[in-house]
Structure 1
């Protein structure tokens, strides 16, 4: 059975691997919650996304934070899903 620290580590490693070769800028933990049936850890992570804007000619880009909700099986440690988390 995974504890909360292990679940966060699994989720972080999983999302980093998906977005390779570029590391996710400013990756941070936002929330962790155990599902009602206690079978899963629901881990919300966020990172910065730079989007081109009209200011691109000035060397700047808009910065927004994207949130992902990862569902980690508390027994096996396997990530079951990753969804966009609306804040």
Structure 2
């Protein structure tokens, strides 16, 4: 069984492989939980991403960011990703 450090490392590696992380700010570990049956690690990563502006006036000098969360479900035995879901920051 992989430990919590390995699960977090795997989740961050997957996050960096799947996304252009240069577009994000404040990428942080938000939560980690081992499922009750001890088969899956749930690792939530939070980050700010820039929202596209609706109009030109709004975009000048304005940086609108929204906090976004991704929860990676990692197999506790193998370290393989089972799923990635949009998180809500409360997981």
RMSD: 1.7
Number of matched residues?
86
Contact 2:23/2:50 (8 A) holds in 1: no
- 1:15 maps to 15
CA distance in 2 between partners of 1:13 and 1:75 (Å): 18
Answer yes or no: is 1:57 the counterpart of 2:35: no
Q: State the 4+ residue runs in structure 1 displaced beyond 6 angstroms.
A: none
Q: 1:61 to 1:23 in 2, by over 3 A?
A: closer
Gaps of 5+ in 1: none
Q: SS at the partner of 1:71?
A: strand
Alignment of 1:1-87 (within 5 A): 1-20=1-20, 22=22, 24-53=24-53, 54=55, 55-58=58-61, 60-87=62-89
Deviation at residue 16 of structure 1 after TM alignment = 0.8
Q: TM-score, normalised by structure 1?
A: 0.88
Structure 2, unmatched stretches of 5+, are none
